Amino acid sequence: MENSPFAKLRDLPRFALTSTDVADGVELAPRHRSRVMEIPGGEDVSPQLRWSGFPEGTRSFALTCYDPDAPTQSGWWHWAVFDIPVDCTELATGAGSPTAPGFPEGALTLRNDAGMAGFLGAAPPQGHGPHRYFFIVHAVDVEHLGLSLDTTPAKLGFTLFFHSLGRAWLTPTFGW
């Protein structure tokens, strides 16, 4: 896959990730696009996500949303949550920020590349073509990664390189 966020990562077992809101290769609904970045119809509402079949030994989860097609040298982080308790295997629609109903107790959210702690909807530059949004759940081998809230999503990704047992993902798209 061109410009794959997995290109420099170890191959890990893949487990199941499903959603009632998003699907591989399907355009994101307006509510999952960015209001903050002034995308018409955008609401910055995180999608419902459910995961299962993760590897034995999983002690917590991390969840990221990343756009590798952004016109930067480093892509664009839309969402980064970690220390999700192992008994949490679903996030409801709209549970994308620490103050939202249904956000997992004990989980921590980093600031995305727009500078806000929570889910930032799709926001490609107009006319740039379709972008892919990788919603990835990482099965983690420790309960707590020991990261602070001033950690960057890139450092979370680096830390996950050493602590991930498996991963699951969905890749919807959006371009305008």
Q: Which tens digit of pLDDT belongs to each residue from 42-95?
A: 999 999 999 999 999 999 999 999 999 999 999 999 999 999 999 999 999 999
Nearest Cα neighbor of 139 from 29, 64, 30, 43 is 64
Find out whether 125 and 84 touch, Cβ atoms under 8 Å: no
**Stated pTM of the model:** 0.97
Task: Quote the CATH superfamily of domain 16-174.
Answer: PEBP-like (3.90.280.10)
Q: Where are the domains of the chain?
A: 16-174
* Cα atoms in the Cβ-side hemisphere of radius 13 Å centred on 111: 9
65-to-24, 57, 119 alpha-carbon distances in Å:
13, 24, 8
- Letter for the amino acid at 156? L
Report the C-alpha gap between 61 and 154 in whole angstroms.
16
116-150 pLDDT per residue, tens? 999 999 999 999 999 999 999 999 999 999 999 99
| Closest CA relative to residue 62, chosen from 49, 71, 73 | 49
Quote the CA–CA distance of 78 and 157 in Å, as a whole number.
13
